[in-house]
A and B are shown apart, each in its own frame.
Chain A
Amino acid sequence: MAGSGDLPPGPTATPTDLAAQVEAAVYHKASRRDQWATLFAVLKANPLTLIGFVLVAIISITGLVVYLVPLITGLAGHSVSLLPYSTIIPSGAKYLAPTWAHPFGTDGAGRDIFSRVLAAVPVDLSIGLSITLFALAVGGVLGLIAGFWDTPGTLGGITSTVILRVTDIFLAFPSLVLALAIAEVLGRGFSVALFAIAATWWPFYVRLVRGEVLAVKGAPFIVAAKAAGVSDGKILSRHIIRNIAEPLIVYYTLDVGSVLITFSTITFLGIGLPPGTAEWGSMISAYQSDLAFDAWPTLFTGLAVFITVLAFSLLGDGLRDILDPRSRRALAVTSASAGELGPSSTTS
């Protein structure tokens, strides 16, 4: 409704007004209430997506609480952590099996595994989210450029070609090997591990975004907007980005898990972080030598990685079906409530 309210009245419309009119006509906005109803119906039809959604919410809240509570209470004078035990100082006998006092048992140093697993949530989660965000920003901008200004012979065309060739080179790289090499030579450390993965992660997004831009660019509503004199910047920000957002959201969600796995692989191989850090990959790396006689530490830490990655995958995989018009049709056939899905879709 907000869009149509901006329309200039009368026949005295200037070219700019015409552009605004075209824009408003192109956008059929669903009301907010409609969108929530749709989301609810879709989640109901997709139990696995709902599970993924709930798990992601729980994990994110846990991460926030574990990270923020000591910060806030620290500001008030005395730092209080919500973790049951210290992650460094032993809190019980060594190699305890799970009990009420130590739900996940204790490790070879007598440290509470439950506390360590929880302490690692903000670390691993923030890495998964931040590296994908960085890759999305860098790869997204490059992909937009390469997709939108690709007329051969122009400055934009040449820029696009250069971007795509460089992307090809980085795509051919074994990212894990390169990340390992970078992390190994730059030394151990959080920022090094971050840099190592970020440096190899963005090319996927260039390809993805460029492909989506190319697919949308020829659509009649873009041609109409161009003909009406809407500026390139406005077409990009108001039309193209909004229309390629859905596949990007899906890919981003799935990718958080991939980054988490790659990061913990690097730390598992003993390269990313200083030993003793409460981070899932490093913990499994440290616990693996006990695996033959005490599997609990490895199993519970592994379970944390598993559930986190699975949660994001379930959510992303479900989002793919929900947001992709083709699978959405298939969904509509099988679920009774899916009839509500049609009108509020924004892509063609």
Chain B
Amino acid sequence: MGRSLSDLVVFIAKRMVQLALVLFGAIVVTFVVSHLSVSNPCLTWIGPHAGKLAYQHCVSYFGLGQPIYIQLYHYLLTLLTGNWGIDQVNQQPVLGLIAQYFPATFELVIAALILMIVVGIPLGVIAANSNGRWADHLVRVFYLSGWAVPTYLGGLLLAILVAPALHIAPTGAFTGTPPFPQRTHMSVVDALLAGNLPWTVDALEHLALPAVALAFFNLGIATRMTRASMLEVLPMEYVRTARMKGLKEFMVLYKHALRNALITTVTVLGLTAGYLLSGTVVIEEIFQWPGIGYYAYESIESYDFTGVVGTVIVFAIGVVVANLAADILYGVLDPRVEWR
């Protein structure tokens, strides 16, 4: 076992098998939980005033009269063929809806990650460099405050109090359809692709508040990890040597020390990205951001199995892929790691 490309391929293949098993388990558990807990979703789907015949039709159509393992078997079969079921509320294929909602969430998560990196990592460096002094305490209070403000509260305050004060659009949804093709369903990217500068600015403005809300809550992760690993790196001899040969403090901290300290931070951020995905549920609900979290919440509200199971699968894939990415990233960044 070493660090050649073939080792990496074997490593990834092994992990993929593990991840497939995890996904399978997640799907089964979600399916069973959601089916056992609601005995008769047809009552909700067909509406309170529908007749007995419509009800019976609904039950037989969705096979709800059959034992749960048979329903599960049929569901898994259809999943594999790419048919994730029909959303009972919108009457559209779930997979299509997810494909339409997901890019917006992806955009939001990436924006939040960028904010976490740009703000969180330097704060961690500052805290570590002034370990135990007032700047350290100040940084700690700052990131713990972010952690202690529940996302829904931060989101509400941003949307209702901060947005009007700054004259920023309070919600994520555009009021009209943009005058350019929506190729990626990511508003900023689409506007950029169309070369439409005013719309790009507008899209960024819509993105700003939800991204800040999402990033602020999770800022502590980047800061705390950077601080901890910087504390390990700073007393090392090569850092002392860099200082001794008269390098500017900025170069010592950010070029020499941070480079080695970043390995853990980047790995942890990779892991976090998966959880950020499902963390968007509240934010998207508050900011009316048309993403997968919004869709998940709507599905839960309307007892829509296919939607709930579909979004849970997407969230679980997100966590699992982020795990894999973090593992690979760690190996790439740290030359001592062998692919096992």
Question: Cβ of B282 and Cβ of A174 under 8 Å apart?
Answer: no
* Chain A 82-125 interface 0/1 with B at a Cβ cutoff of 8 Å (1 = within): 00000000000000000000000000000000000000000000
CA distance A16 to B134 in the complex (A): 54
Shortest Cβ distance from A59 into chain B, in angstroms?
13
* Contacting residues of chain A (160-196) with chain B, CB-CB under 8 angstroms: 165-166, 168-178, 180-182, 184-186
CA distance A314 to B141 in the complex (A): 8
Question: Cβ of A185 and Cβ of B38 under 8 Å apart?
Answer: yes
Interface size class of B (residues with CB under 8 A): 35 or more
Question: Cβ of B303 and Cβ of A185 under 8 Å apart?
Answer: yes
Q: How many residues of A contact B (CB 8 A)?
A: 51
CA distance A313 to B140 in the complex (A): 10
The answer to the question of B308 belonging to the interface, with a C-beta cut-off of 8 Å to chain A, is yes
Query: Chain B interface secondary structure, helix, strand, loop or mixed?
Result: helix
Q: Contacts A178-B312, A181-B34 known; A264 to B150 CB distance under 8 Å?
A: yes
CA distance A327 to B149 in the complex (A): 27
Contacts of A166 in B (CB 8 A): 25
The answer to the question of B152 belonging to the interface, with a C-beta cut-off of 8 Å to chain A, is yes
CA distance A310 to B301 in the complex (A): 31
Quick one: which of B29, B150, B312 contacts A174, CB cutoff 8 A? Answer: B312
The answer to the question of A295 belonging to the interface, with a C-beta cut-off of 8 Å to chain B, is yes
Question: Cβ of B147 and Cβ of A172 under 8 Å apart?
Answer: no
**A-B pairs under 8 A by CB, number:** 149
CA distance A317 to B141 in the complex (A): 11
* Contacting residues of chain B (18-70) with chain A, CB-CB under 8 angstroms: 18, 21-23, 25-26, 29-30, 33-34, 37-38
Question: Cβ of B25 and Cβ of A171 under 8 Å apart?
Answer: no
CA distance A45 to B137 in the complex (A): 12
The answer to the question of B334 belonging to the interface, with a C-beta cut-off of 8 Å to chain A, is no
- Of B18, B144, B275, B316, the most chain A CB neighbours within 10 A belong to B144
Name the residue on B nearest A309 (C-beta): B148
CA distance A188 to B157 in the complex (A): 27
Question: Cβ of A176 and Cβ of B144 under 8 Å apart?
Answer: no
CA distance A314 to B220 in the complex (A): 12
Quick one: which of B23, B144, B277 contacts A313, CB cutoff 8 A? Answer: B144
The answer to the question of B232 belonging to the interface, with a C-beta cut-off of 8 Å to chain A, is yes
* Contacting residues of chain B (270-312) with chain A, CB-CB under 8 angstroms: 275, 277-279, 281-282, 285, 296-297, 300-301, 303, 308, 311-312
Question: Cβ of B315 and Cβ of A174 under 8 Å apart?
Answer: yes
| Pairs A–B under 8 Å by Cβ, sample size 12 | A48-B137, A172-B22, A172-B319, A173-B316, A176-B278, A185-B38, A291-B160, A302-B149, A302-B157, A317-B140, A317-B144, A326-B232
Give 3 nearest A-B pairs by CB, closest first.
A174-B278, A334-B132, A169-B25
Instruction: Known A-B contacts: A175-B278, A309-B148. Give 13 more (CB < 8 A).
Output: A173-B29, A173-B30, A174-B312, A185-B34, A269-B152, A284-B153, A298-B156, A302-B150, A302-B153, A307-B148, A310-B147, A313-B148, A317-B224
